Amino acid sequence: MVPIYGGDQFSLATGERIVDFAIKHGFWIIPVCHGLRVQEIAKSYKPVTKVFLSGYLAYLKKQKDKVWVDTFSNVHRYLQARSRAQLIIRSQEKNHIALLIEGGLDEERTQELTVVIPVSDQVLSVTAKLAEDNIPLEVRLVGEVIVLNVPMNGKMVEVDWK
């Protein structure tokens, strides 16, 4: 979803509702906006107000566990990497999965992709690690899914749950 934000009539409440809707339904939003007050562009995109921008950024900060905020360039890079990436599952058992991601790596950057693993509601704990280096990875249990960011470096990741 690409909403266009701007103008004196675009309220903070509207911006917050768009964020809440995206969180609730798992959508991405990439707002199109600017703060330039230049006559030559006055008939195109309307600038956001300073009051709106300050309030909106404060609202996003309150939602930091639920949203990802970044530059358009980094979001675009992530989407490109995701489209090139290939998820490979090496083994899968009832409470274990070994997987890796290949093909999406931007050679100049360390990039990760979010992997969501559906599990039953009986899961109480989960751990994840880079298998080769035995380095723990941050992993979350959210309802009936495991969520973790997997590096796109072709290294095996092992996830175990109980």
Q: What is the pLDDT of residue 41?
A: 63
pLDDT at 32 over 90: no
d(CA 62, CA 126): 26
> Which residue, among 88, 77, 91, 92, has the nearest Cα to 153 in the 3D structure?
88
Residues 145 and 161: beta-carbon distance below 8 Å: no
Q: pLDDT digit string (tens) for 52-90?
A: 889 999 999 999 989 988 888 888 888 888 888 899 999
Question: How do the domains of the chain map onto residue ranges?
Answer: 12-69, 86-161
Phi and psi angles of residue 20, each rounded to the nearest 5 degrees, phi first: -60, -40
